């Protein structure tokens, strides 16, 4: 969501006037809402909100649980009812349950064009990947130039295996993906590995049709001062995290570091959604007493949490084809100028960016020795100075303003 929001914020100054077509929040269902981000929408930008048709209210009634986060991070160990509903979601709602919005969106565009409105281009951003089918239909009906922005893989998204899809559903989902990649005038992706993935599945498509446009950070969000704590070495993670991120070795290394450096008060802080299984792993590792859990906070408060950290924790899900997973938080972590502990595969796109920006490097999931050495080095540095902020990181080209400039050129 922030990717589109920040583009809308910066595009008018670059000579592009966006019209936003989205869902009326009173008619949709989401795990969380952050009303504070509305302040980033420029006053002159027109926002059209439509109705929608989706099954999430029924899901809440059937399960007594909130709407699932991406990757089911807030569900815990699924019971029979949840497994059944995942099967229904994976085989009857293709590409995803948000598809019920499409007819409302298409009706709104038809009304705009009937009134004589003209547009130079349409940009659809996903997931939910059903949104791409709106662009596909608009191009078919009206011949509009269409840019498909895919922030994540489609048929290969990391939680696809949890949907229990039958062969027919897999075929249909893959067919939709291929149609979008083939018909779009340009395809935007967030990482080089995602581009390689799509091209490997569609080798007949031209390379120059795909454009890597990473996420970024908004300079305006980081004009407040950094405030690393002087009384502890605080490691902070913001956002959603589950046991799929494979933190077992890190938790062991953290416990060993706390024992080896008693003069360094170690603290672990999670801000956002943390799965019940991961919470149990933290307790089992003996870290319960030094770990804090803070539920979802508005984005501006999330930035304050980054600036009040000593070190930032990021993890890549331990799933197949994860080299191209590039969390949006990576770029805000860079802007906070903190050392970054990244748990994930070496050589991944995230690893390469961390090295490029002198902010750290990936620590492979099972490399306990490397994790202990990294944490020992940070603890030793903290004993000299509690401010571990980086002074030689280079990340300015990942600003939202710079990325919006690249988008403006493509448009």
pLDDT tens-digit map of 15-54: 999 999 999 988 888 878 888 899 999 999 999 999 998 8
Domain ranges, ordered by start, for the chain? 2-217+401-410, 219-384
Length of the chain: 411
Q: What is the pLDDT of residues 286-329, one digit of tens each?
A: 999 999 999 999 999 999 999 999 999 999 999 888 898 888 89
The predicted structure's pLDDT at residue 78: 67
pTM given for the model = 0.85
CATH number, domain 2-217+401-410, options 2.60.120.920, 3.30.2270.10, 3.40.50.2000, 3.40.190.10:
3.40.50.2000
The span from the CA of 33 to the CA of 25, in Å, is: 9
Does 242 have pLDDT greater than 70?
Answer: yes
* Cα gap 353→193, rounded to integer Å: 13
Instruction: Give CB contacts under 8 A, 24+ apart, made by 354-359.
Output: 354/330, 356/394, 357/393, 357/394, 357/395, 357/398, 358/390, 358/392, 358/393, 358/394, 359/333, 359/334, 359/390, 359/393, 359/395
pLDDT at 396: 85
Q: Which pLDDT score is estimated for 73?
A: 47
Strand partners, 210: 187
Q: Residue 268: which pLDDT band, with cuts at 50, 70 and 90?
A: very high
Q: Kindly tell me the sign of the dihedral angle through the C-alpha atoms of 342, 346, 350, 353.
A: positive
| Tokens describing residue 12 | 């008018």
244 contacts 317 by C-beta, under 8 angstroms: yes
pLDDT at residue 363 in the model: 97
> How many Cβ atoms sit within 10 Å of the Cβ of residue 409?
9
Which of 245, 35, 205 is CA-nearest to residue 195? 205
* pLDDT at site 198: 95
CATH of domain 219-384: 3.40.50.2000
Q: What is the dihedral of CA 218, 221, 224, 230, to 10 degrees?
A: -90
Token pair 């100028």 is at which residue? 337
For the stretch 91-150, pLDDT in tens is 788 898 899 999 999 999 999 999 999 999 999 999 999 999 999 999 999 999 999 999
User: Residue 285: which of 316, 315, 257, 265 has the closest Cα?
Assistant: 257
- Beta pairing, strands 311-315 & 291-294: unpaired
Mean pLDDT of the 218-233 span? 94
Q: Where are the beta strands (DSSP E) in 101-225?
A: 122-126, 146-150, 186-189, 210-212
Beta strands at 210-212 and 186-189: parallel, antiparallel or unpaired: parallel
- Is 405 strand, coil or helix? helix
Q: How many CB atoms within 10 Å of residue 54?
A: 20
What is the spatial distance between Cα 158 and Cα 317, in angstroms, rounded to a whole number? 8
Written as six digits, the tokens of 294 are: 């803070």
Provide mean pLDDT across the span 346-356: 95
Q: For the chain, give the mean pLDDT.
A: 91
> What does the pLDDT average to over 322-341?
93
How many other β-carbons are positioned within 10 Å of the β-carbon of residue 316? 26
Quick: pLDDT tens for 379-402.
Answer: 999 999 999 999 877 888 999 999
* Domains 2-217+401-410 and 219-384 fall in the same CATH topology: yes
DSSP code string of 351-384? HHHHHHTTS--EE-TT-HHHHHHHHHHHHHHHHH
List, for residues 291-303, the tens digit of each pLDDT value.
999 999 999 999 9
**Can you give the pLDDT at residue 74?**
44
φ and ψ at 23, to 5 degrees? -100, 140
Task: Name every residue whose Cβ is closer than 8 Å to that of residue 140 and which is 6 or more positions away in sequence.
Answer: none
Residue 79 has pLDDT above 80, yes or no: no
**Could you read off the pLDDT of 205-219 as tens digits, one per residue?**
999 999 999 999 999
Residue 36 structure tokens: 């504070």
CA distance 234 to 265: 8
Tokens of 140: 């078919």
In sequence order, the β-bridge partners of residue 236 are 269, 312
Q: List all residues 6 or more positions away from 406 whose beta carbon is below 8 Å from its beta carbon.
A: 211, 213
H/E stretch holding 237 reads strand 233-238
- In angstroms, the CA 406 to CA 217 distance is 15
Residues 6+ apart with CB under 8 A from 374: 341, 363
Q: What is the pLDDT of residue 68?
A: 59
């Amino acid at each position: 969501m922030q990717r589109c929001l920040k583009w809308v914020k910066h595009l008018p100054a670059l000579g592009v006037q966006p019209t936003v077509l989205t869902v009326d929040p009173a008619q949709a269902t989401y795990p969380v809402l952050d009303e504070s981000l509305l302040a980033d929408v420029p006053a002159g930008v027109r926002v059209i909100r439509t109705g929608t048709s989706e099954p999430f209210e029924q899901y809440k009634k059937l399960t007594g649980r909130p709407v699932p986060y991406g990757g089911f991070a807030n569900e815990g160990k699924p019971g029979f009812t949840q497994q059944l509903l995942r099967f229904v979601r994976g085989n009857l709602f293709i590409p995803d349950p948000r598809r019920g919005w499409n007819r409302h969106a298409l009706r709104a565009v038809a009304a705009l064009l009937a009134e004589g409105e003209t547009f130079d281009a349409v940009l659809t951003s996903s997931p939910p990947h059903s949104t791409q089918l709106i662009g596909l239909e608009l191009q078919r009906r009206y011949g509009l130039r269409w840019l498909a922005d895919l922030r994540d893989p489609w048929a290969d998204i990391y939680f696809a295996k949890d949907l229990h899809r039958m062969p027919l559903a897999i075929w249909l989902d893959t067919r939709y993906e291929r149609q979008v990649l083939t018909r779009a005038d340009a395809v935007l992706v967030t990482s080089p590995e995602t581009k390689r993935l799509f091209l490997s599945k569609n080798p007949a498509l031209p390379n120059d049709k795909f454009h890597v446009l990473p996420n970024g950070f908004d300079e305006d969000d980081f004009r407040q001062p950094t405030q690393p704590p002087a009384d502890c070495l605080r490691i902070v993670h913001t956002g959603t995290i589950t046991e799929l991120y494979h933190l077992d070795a890190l938790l062991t290394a953290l416990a060993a570091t706390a024992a080896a450096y008693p003069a360094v008060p170690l603290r672990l802080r999670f801000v956002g959604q943390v799965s019940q299984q991961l919470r149990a792993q933290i307790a089992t590792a003996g870290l319960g007493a030094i770990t804090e859990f803070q539920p979802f906070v508005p984005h501006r408060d999330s930035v304050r949490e980054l600036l009040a950290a000593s070190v930032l924790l990021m993890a890549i899900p331990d799933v197949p084809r994860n080299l191209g997973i590039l969390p949006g938080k990576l770029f805000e972590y860079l802007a906070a100028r903190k050392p970054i502990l990244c748990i994930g595969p070496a050589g991944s796109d995230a690893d390469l960016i961390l090295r490029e920006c002198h902010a750290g490097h990936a620590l492979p999931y099972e490399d306990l020795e490397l994790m202990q050495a990294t944490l020992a080095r940070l603890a030793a540095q903290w004993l000299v100075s509690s401010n571990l902020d980086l002074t030689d990181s280079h990340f300015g080209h990942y600003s939202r303003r710079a990325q919006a400039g690249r988008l403006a050129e493509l448009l």
